[in-house]
Amino acid sequence: MVKPLVRAALAASLLVFFAGCEQKPADTAASAPAAAATPDAAILASVQSIKQGDIAGLMQNALPPPDFAKAKADWGKDKDQEPITDEQRAQFNETMAKLTAPDAEQKLFAEIEPKLKEFDAQYQQQLPMYAMAGAGWVKNMIQQNQTMTEAERTQAAAAVDALQAWVVKTHFTDADSIKKVIAIVAKAAREMNLKSLDEARALGYDEAMQKARVAVLALKDALAVYGLSIDETLDSIKPQVLSNDGKTATVQLSYTLLGAPLTATTEMVNVDGRWYGKQTIDKLKEKAAEQAEQSAPSAVTAPEAPAAESAPAAEPKQG
């Protein structure tokens, strides 16, 4: 139970933070072009998007307009590839019923409270070991990432160290903290107001983005209960453009994570006057090339017809 907790804490924290370092401004479609006019402005707009939980804005600014329009149009096309099972429906209904009940906070804590002391007795002393194992797992993934430079791997590993230290010193089973987190999750569930798993899967793009905003803000609030303020980290980000030739740019990000000063470097490209993450654009090009190759008719050359055999020459008659 502890190992998934440690990994989830590390992964969630990294995911939410580094999402803010991508080039994805928020707010509205009208403000996106202005926000992305320079590399550093694009990053600072991304920070505001994460703070606001504006996932729609992040997606819009992460992709050039044609790609964003296609992604939005394709939303939900694959929703029926994996049919929902009756067991999944029942689990979803049971969970949502518990979270949205009028007395959800009291009932859920009463259900969890007896397990807190048992958990502490069994795992609290082992938590540093599990945290070390979780951090090692993440660091191994970082080292295997061939798209990162050695300097980037070093900085990412330092961020993991800061998160590991936070996990070790945080008392996740503190009763008051548990109550606060339950209240945050219950409030988010009520605000999402999803009646069934089928309804959740059938959400259109705009509706899904609204629900995602609720989830992101709830996650940030829950992490803040345990002393990890995503907003404080985002507010500390200071982008510095190291190079910019008008087509490509290198930006260094200085930030503070849980009191640890860190830096990161990101590559950006200019597409039609707006700045995007280089990796995102490269992946879009790769995907477009793959799709073009798959859709192109295979050129099959018809085999040449065998040459007709000539009739044998008539033998001369002997007179």
Least confident stretch, 6-15, 176-185, 187-196, 274-283: 6-15
pLDDT band, residue 304 (cuts 50/70/90) = low
Least confident stretch, 18-32, 112-126, 168-182, 246-260: 18-32
Find out whether 241 and 39 touch, Cβ atoms under 8 Å. yes
Find out whether 227 and 170 touch, Cβ atoms under 8 Å. yes
- pTM equals 0.76
Residue 120 forms part of a structural domain: yes
Find out whether 58 and 22 touch, Cβ atoms under 8 Å. yes
Residue 213 to residue 225: CA distance in whole angstroms: 19
What's the domain range around 221?
2-38+46-228
Say which residue, 279 or 123, is predicted with more confidence: 279
Residue 314 forms part of a structural domain: no
CA atoms within 13 A on the CB side of 259: 5
Q: What is the pLDDT of residues 97-152, one digit of tens each?
A: 999 999 999 999 999 998 888 888 877 778 889 999 999 999 999 999 887 888 88
Question: What is the share, in percent, of the chain residues with pLDDT greater than 70?
Answer: 82
Residue 271 forms part of a structural domain: no
Q: What is the average pLDDT across 12-40?
A: 47
For residue 309, is pLDDT > 50?
no
Beta bridge partners of 274: 271
Q: What is the average pLDDT across 296-319?
A: 49
Nearest in space to 178 (alpha carbons), one of 217, 222, 214: 222
pLDDT band, residue 78 (cuts 50/70/90) = confident
Residue 209 to residue 24: CA distance in whole angstroms: 15
Q: What is the average pLDDT across 205-232?
A: 95
Residue 81 forms part of a structural domain: yes
Q: What is the average pLDDT across 58-69?
A: 87
pLDDT at 308: 46
Residue 260 forms part of a structural domain: no
Residue 68 to residue 75: CA distance in whole angstroms: 11
Residue 256 forms part of a structural domain: no
DSSP 312: P
Residue 182 to residue 142: CA distance in whole angstroms: 33
CA distance readout (Å), 29 to 25, 32, 37, 48, 115: 10, 5, 14, 15, 48
Q: Is 264 helix (H, G, I), strand (E, B) or coil?
A: strand
Residue 208 to residue 185: CA distance in whole angstroms: 18
pLDDT at 49: 85
Total count of residues recorded for the chain? 319
CA atoms within 13 A on the CB side of 197: 16
How many separate domains does the chain show? 1
Q: What is the pLDDT of residues 257-267, one digit of tens each?
A: 999 999 988 89
Find out whether 76 and 204 touch, Cβ atoms under 8 Å. yes
For residue 305, is pLDDT > 90?
no
Longest dimension (CA), the chain: 125
For residue 310, is pLDDT > 60?
no
For residue 167, is pLDDT > 80?
yes
Find out whether 58 and 277 touch, Cβ atoms under 8 Å. no
pLDDT at 158: 93
Residue 305 forms part of a structural domain: no
Residue 84 forms part of a structural domain: yes
Least confident stretch, 55-69, 101-115, 295-309: 295-309
Least confident stretch, 108-112, 192-196, 295-299, 305-309: 305-309
φ, ψ for residue 136 (rounded to 5)?
-65, -35
Residue 276 to residue 51: CA distance in whole angstroms: 20
Average pLDDT along the chain: 82
For residue 48, is pLDDT > 70?
yes
Residue type, 78: D
Residue 175 to residue 252: CA distance in whole angstroms: 41
pLDDT band, residue 290 (cuts 50/70/90) = confident
For 79-89, letters b (16+ CB in 10 Å) and e give eeeeeeeeeee
Say which residue, 226 or 9, is predicted with more confidence: 226
Alpha helices (H) in the chain, listed in sequence order: 2-19, 32-35, 39-52, 55-62, 65-73, 86-100, 104-123, 127-144, 150-169, 175-192, 197-201, 205-225, 230-235, 278-295
Nearest in space to 257 (alpha carbons), one of 234, 240, 239: 234
